[in-house]
């Protein structure tokens, strides 16, 4: 009835597979061909895509070079290209995962160049050596050809990756930069710790954030218990906190929250306030999605899961990602809590207007 999976969703239509960024789609709207069983990394779809592109390029190149004269030559060239494409994709992804998000334009270019160079070298080496060996070169000459191919691949990958990294970073901070211009502030300078500036910043940076689920949004009128209490902002050295509200009678979450800011931390710079505000709005959306659930669901472990998703969004903006979230905990949360995927920042449409997130 929705036409989903059996026909493309028209959210994005482009020949370069950018439909994969569509938050309403799964596996490019084609689960008959692709699978993503764990949600941690695309398995079949990423392999097939990288292999298909590598096979196509190598067959085309070998064909134009006059090296394909039979069906056997065709399949050998396709196989080498597929291995080169797959190897480059996996090495590039591994390096990207190790580097994480960049917090500056230069860092984004450097990260992109490193990712591109590593993937380009891996793909170029496999392609160069493989093509040489199927051309009956010796083992040593094959290795030499692989190193040459890897060198060219690394140079080309570094150039393309650096440019792509810079473009991605500019997309990530475009809303932030525009908001800073509107507010007449610089990203690294302290900003006024007032409710008026807080309101102006919210409208400049997150004008589509779920403010209808916020009852109190303040830095000037934070209750003392939330400043110096056991879980207070000063006690926890936290830039902000979102407090979910529950029904006095039923003890169920109402979907509303109060958001309190620490003037000493959140307002140390415009960039810090931007990251902090985005983090807390993820919590607002999470508590709104939990409306009707008993407040007792918010155990320390469940809250840690919510924090993981909020910090993931902050990291996608170029901010801090805490290293305390282990792979084991993330896997355990995904299997323990039915709400795990629903609490992901990707489940909230407003988050897509503030950071262009590459899912590959």
Q: What is the pLDDT of residues 252-270, one digit of tens each?
A: 999 999 999 999 999 999 9
* Residue that wins the pLDDT comparison between 134 and 15: 134
Q: Each residue of 204-228: pLDDT tens digit? A: 899 999 999 999 999 999 999 999 8
> 157 pLDDT exceeds 70?
yes
Q: What pTM was estimated for this model as a whole?
A: 0.59
Give the per-residue pLDDT at 30.
56
User: pLDDT value at position 35?
Assistant: 58
pLDDT band at 283 (very low <50, low <70, confident <90, very high): very high
Q: Residue 60 is encoded by which pair of tokens?
A: 């085309």
* Averaged pLDDT, 114-124: 84
| Mean pLDDT across the chain | 80
The dihedral through the CA atoms of 106, 109, 111, 117 has a sign that is negative
Specify the pLDDT at position 6: 53
Higher local confidence (pLDDT), 31 or 19: 31
State mean pLDDT over 59-65.
83
| pLDDT for res 339 | 93
Q: What are phi and psi of 85, to 5 degrees?
A: -65, -45
- Backbone torsions φ then ψ of 293, nearest 5 degrees: -80, 150
What would the mean pLDDT of 113-128 be, rounded to a whole number?
A: 84
Q: For the stretch 74-101, what's the b/e string if a residue is b when 16 or more beta carbons lie within 10 angstroms of its beta carbon?
A: eebbbbbbbbbbbbbbbbbbebbeebeb
User: Where do the structural domains in the chain lie, given as residue ranges?
Assistant: 1-31, 35-174, 195-353
- % pLDDT > 70, the chain: 78
With pLDDT > 90 as the criterion, what percentage of the chain qualifies?
34
Q: What is the largest CA-CA distance in the chain?
A: 81
């Amino acid at each position: 009835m929705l036409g989903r999976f059996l026909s493309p969703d028209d959210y994005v239509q482009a020949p370069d597979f950018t439909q994969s960024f569509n938050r309403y789609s799964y596996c490019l709207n084609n689960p008959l061909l692709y699978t993503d069983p764990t949600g941690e990394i695309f398995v079949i779809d990423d392999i097939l895509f990288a292999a298909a592109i590598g096979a196509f390029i190598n067959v085309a190149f070998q064909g134009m070079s006059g090296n394909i004269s039979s069906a056997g030559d065709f399949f050998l060239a396709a196989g080498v290209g597929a291995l080169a494409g797959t190897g480059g994709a996996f090495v590039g992804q591994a390096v990207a995962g190790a580097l994480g998000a960049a917090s500056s334009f230069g860092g984004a270019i450097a990260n992109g160049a490193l990712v591109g160079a590593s993937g380009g070298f891996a793909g170029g080496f496999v392609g160069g050596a493989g093509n040489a060996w199927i051309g009956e070169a010796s083992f040593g000459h094959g290795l030499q050809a692989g190193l040459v191919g890897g060198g060219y691949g690394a140079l080309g990958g570094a150039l393309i990756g650096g440019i792509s990294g810079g473009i991605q970073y500019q997309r990530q901070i475009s809303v932030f930069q525009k908001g800073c211009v509107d507010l007449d502030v610089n990203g690294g300078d302290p900003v006024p710790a007032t409710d008026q500036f807080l309101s102006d910043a919210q409208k400049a940076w997150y004008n589509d954030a779920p403010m209808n689920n916020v009852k109190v949004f303040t830095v000037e009128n934070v209750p003392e218990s939330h400043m110096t209490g056991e879980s207070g902002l000063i006690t926890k050295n936290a830039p902000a906190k979102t407090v979910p509200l529950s029904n006095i009678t039923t003890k169920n979450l109402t979907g509303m929250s109060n958001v309190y800011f620490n003037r000493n931390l959140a307002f140390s710079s415009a960039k810090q306030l931007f990251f902090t505000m985005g983090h807390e709005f993820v919590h607002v959306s999470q508590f709104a999605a939990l409306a009707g659930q008993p407040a007792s669901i918010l155990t320390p472990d469940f809250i840690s899961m919510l924090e993981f998703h909020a910090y993931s969004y902050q990291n996608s903006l170029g901010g801090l990602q805490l290293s305390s979230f282990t792979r084991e905990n993330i896997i355990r949360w995904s299997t323990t809590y039915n709400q795990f995927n629903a609490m992901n920042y990707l489940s909230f449409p407003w988050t897509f207007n503030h950071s262009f997130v590459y899912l590959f």
